Amino acid sequence: MNKEKFSNRLKYLRLNKNVSLRKLSKEVRIPHTTLSGYEKGRIPDKERLIKLANYFNVSIDFLSGENDTLIKTDGLEAF
């Protein structure tokens, strides 16, 4: 996992969807303090990475920074 890309992409996806950390926290059932840590460089476990990728409708490879192709778009602008 590319830690910097993951952090940047998570924050980008959250802001693009106009979702606060607290709202995202409720939606994916991950504490908002943990999500904030992810945006600052902390790495999630596989279960949480899957939850986040599903919520934002993107591939795990894209979110984790392993692939730069946004496979599922769901109305997002190109990254």
Which pLDDT tens digits describe the chain residue by residue (79 residues)? Answer: 999 999 999 999 999 999 999 999 999 999 999 999 999 999 999 999 999 999 999 999 999 998 887 766 454 444 4
The pTM of the full predicted model, rounded to 2 decimals, is 0.84
What is the amino acid identity at position 28? V
As a whole number of angstroms, the distance between CA 35 and CA 58 comes to 17
What does the block give as tokens for 51?
Answer: 């939850």
**Distances from the Cα of 47 to the Cα of 6, 72, 75, 76, 78, angstroms:** 15, 19, 25, 24, 26
User: What local confidence, expressed as pLDDT, does residue 74 receive?
Assistant: 55
CATH topology of domain 3-63: 434 Repressor (Amino-terminal Domain) (1.10.260)
**pLDDT computed for residue 78 by the predictor:** 45
Judging by beta carbons within 10 Å of its beta carbon (0-12, 13-18, 19+), is residue 25 exposed, middle or buried? middle
What ranges do the domains of the chain cover?
A: 3-63
